[in-house]
């Protein structure tokens, strides 16, 4: 059972989501801002769909990887080998629970005991990979969907009018965060620079009557030194559950130090708790 694709996807998702999560902070030291700048930031915050504002308390779902796609991507073409692998993999079941802050817990079950220790080790790697990959994805997704992806109006930041866009600059701890917004308040780029890495996330937004909804993003992560250069492209489909926009599918293409991989996840049996 080949599991190399998990390492690639996991490394890229965690790298980008960890950087994006930094940008979610609101403590900063860029400097005081005037009433006009505060009005622009408030308008920006109001332009985004917010599941917390919509009353989300909890989201539950099953998670189904496209195992056939994964196996074929790893070069498995023999029909008997493919069928045997799919029988094992389709017997693995994953569920997730996300709280109102975007924190995700993934659980798993198996229909059958693994036939040998090698397969057992492969299953354990898959369990860990799915857990961390899903949690990593939702860390980035939450930046744009749980609360508005802009600092609090009364926090410290610098807002520069570039004519066709705005540049928002602030610090979160030791991290430098730069966000570029169009005049309609759609974010075209979030760049986070730390002593360890530089990460840039370029979201793609759908405009709805309740605000911008994340349709996907591409991102780059470059460590200050050593390996681990990542490029990631993610496509997300949402569908309402009790009126709340939540993921129904995820497609991610990524490269880690030039090595590509592809993953597809479906979210089904979706349930929410809200107030």
Mean pLDDT in each 10-residue stretch from start to end of the chain (275 residues)? 44 48 45 82 97 96 92 81 87 95 93 86 87 87 94 93 95 89 96 92 95 96 91 95 97 88 92 96
Would you state the pLDDT for residue 241? 97
Instruction: Give the chain's largest Cα–Cα span.
Output: 68
Sequence-ordered alpha helix ranges (H) in 74-157: 79-89, 117-145
Residue 246, strand partner residues: 239
Q: What is the 3-state secondary structure (H, E, C) of 11-53?
A: HHHHHHHHHHHHHCCCCCCCCCCCHHHHHHHHHHHHCECCCCC
Would you state the pLDDT for residue 6? 47
Would you state the pLDDT for residue 19? 47
Closest CA to 221 of 254, 199, 193: 199
Residue with tokens 């909804």: 213
pTM listed for this prediction: 0.87
Would you state the pLDDT for residue 267? 98
Q: Which domain holds residue 53?
A: 4-274
Would you state the pLDDT for residue 32? 53
Closest CA to 228 of 263, 250, 199: 199
Would you state the pLDDT for residue 44? 97
Number of structural domains the chain divides into: 1
């Amino acid at each position: 059972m080949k599991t190399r694709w998990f390492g690639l996807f996991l490394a890229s998702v965690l790298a980008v989501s960890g950087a994006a999560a930094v940008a979610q902070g609101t403590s900063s030291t860029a400097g005081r801002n005037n009433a006009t700048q505060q009005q622009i930031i408030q308008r920006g915050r109001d332009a985004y769909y917010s599941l917390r504002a919509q009353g989300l308390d909890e989201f539950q779902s099953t998670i189904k990887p496209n195992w056939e796609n994964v196996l074929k991507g790893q070069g498995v073409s023999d029909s008997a080998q493919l069928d045997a692998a799919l029988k094992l993999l389709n017997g693995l079941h994953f569920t997730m629970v996300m709280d109102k802050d975007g924190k995700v817990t993934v659980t798993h079950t198996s229909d059958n005991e693994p036939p040998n220790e090698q397969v057992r080790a492969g299953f354990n790697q898959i369990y860990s990979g799915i857990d961390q990959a899903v949690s990593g994805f939702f860390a980035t997704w939450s930046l744009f969907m749980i609360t508005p992806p802009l600092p609090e109006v009364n926090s410290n930041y610098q807002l520069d009018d570039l004519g066709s866009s705005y540049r928002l600059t602030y610090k979160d701890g030791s991290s430098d965060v730069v966000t570029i917004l169009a005049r309609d308040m759609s974010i075209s780029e979030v760049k986070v620079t730390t002593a360890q890495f530089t990460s840039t996330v370029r979201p793609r937004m759908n405009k709805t009557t309740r605000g911008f909804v994340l349709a996907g993003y591409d991102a780059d992560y470059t460590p200050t030194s050593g390996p681990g250069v990542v490029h990631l492209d993610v496509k997300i489909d949402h569908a309402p559950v009790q009126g709340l926009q939540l993921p129904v599918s995820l497609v991610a293409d990524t490269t880690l130090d030039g090595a590509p991989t592809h993953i597809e996840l479906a979210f089904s049996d979706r349930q929410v708790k809200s107030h």
